[in-house]
């Protein structure tokens, strides 16, 4: 029979002690990432709420909201996202993906919504990766006037370029799937933005939203065999598009019939659709 000392020094127990240490370290890291993910969700929602203050405001106040949102986006990237990336360095990304996936999608939603309100275009997958990696500041994407002339586009999975040259986990966290899922959530914010713009009589901005949602819907058609989670979001996007098109059509029709009526009166019959 083995003595207690022999049992304590056995190779099997030493192996299990090593496994225990590794598991505890992995659990602690997962919990740390999950806590930062909650902060990332909260800060992203604050940015979206700030952007929704724009319709109906004076030009100076709109610029102030955009500047505040840009500063918040950059601050979150430099703090929370970079901190998560440091914890993920040298780790298997899929192992910790559930801990940060929701926060990354929410942040992408805020980032892409901001880019549309800033210059009426959607940041591409490669541009998002460069910004998340800290290679370029966010403002650099809006300094080139040609970006503003490009219509919002949704890349197909075949045209997405892998970020193999990026060694930093901040860029690797943003897979093409995460980008598309974040982009899909933007349709809900664009629908709310459309209704607010229509409510204050900003017809041109409302028309841009309709155009963007249509182009996004056309882009989804190029995706082959999307995942079930994306299928659900595409279905929600198409419902949002149908609602926006119906309201836009009826508003234009009533505006032609009653040109002197205010937009609030024209929107009376659609109050139930705004919820």
Dihedral of alpha carbons 66, 189, 225, 151, sign: negative
189 in a labelled binding site: yes
Q: How far apart are CA 183 and CA 178, in angstroms?
A: 8
Phi-psi region of 122 (alpha: psi -120 to 50; beta: other; left: phi over 0): beta
Q: What angle do CA 235, 181, 102 make, to 5 degrees?
A: 120
Phi, psi of 134 (to 5 degrees): 80, 15
Residue 188 vs residues 18, 40, 191, 272: alpha-carbon distances, Å: 48, 19, 5, 16
Q: Are 173 and 100 in contact (CB under 8 A)?
A: yes
Query: Known binding site for Mg(2+): residues?
Result: 109, 189
Query: Known binding site: residues?
Result: 109, 189
């Amino acid at each position: 029979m083995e003595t207690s000392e022999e049992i304590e020094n056995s190779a099997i127990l030493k192996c299990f002690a090593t496994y225990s240490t590794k598991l505890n370290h992995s659990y602690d890291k997962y919990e740390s990432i999950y806590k930062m993910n909650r902060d990332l969700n909260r800060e992203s929602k604050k940015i979206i709420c700030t952007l929704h203050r724009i319709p109906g405001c004076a030009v100076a106040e709109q610029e102030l909201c955009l500047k505040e949102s840009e500063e918040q986006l950059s601050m979150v990237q430099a703090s929370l996202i970079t901190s998560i990336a440091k914890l993920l360095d040298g780790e298997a990304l899929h192992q910790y993906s559930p801990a940060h996936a929701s926060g990354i999608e929410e942040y992408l939603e805020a980032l892409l919504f901001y880019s549309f309100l800033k210059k009426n275009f959607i940041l591409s997958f490669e541009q998002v990766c460069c910004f998340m990696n800290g290679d370029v500041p966010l403002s650099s994407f809006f300094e080139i006037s040609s970006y503003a002339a490009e219509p919002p586009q949704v890349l197909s999975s075949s045209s997405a370029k892998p970020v193999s040259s990026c060694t930093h986990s901040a860029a690797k966290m943003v897979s093409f799937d995460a980008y598309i899922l974040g982009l899909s959530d933007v349709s809900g914010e664009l629908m709310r933005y459309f209704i607010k713009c229509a409510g204050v009589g900003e017809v041109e901005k409302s028309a841009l939203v309709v155009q963007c949602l249509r182009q996004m819907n056309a882009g989804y058609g190029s995706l082959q065999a999307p995942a079930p989670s994306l299928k659900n979001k595409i279905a929600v996007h198409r419902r949002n598009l149908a609602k926006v098109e119906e309201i836009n059509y009826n508003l234009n029709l009533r505006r032609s019939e009653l040109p002197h009526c205010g937009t609030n009166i024209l929107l009376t019959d659609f109050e139930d659709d705004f919820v």
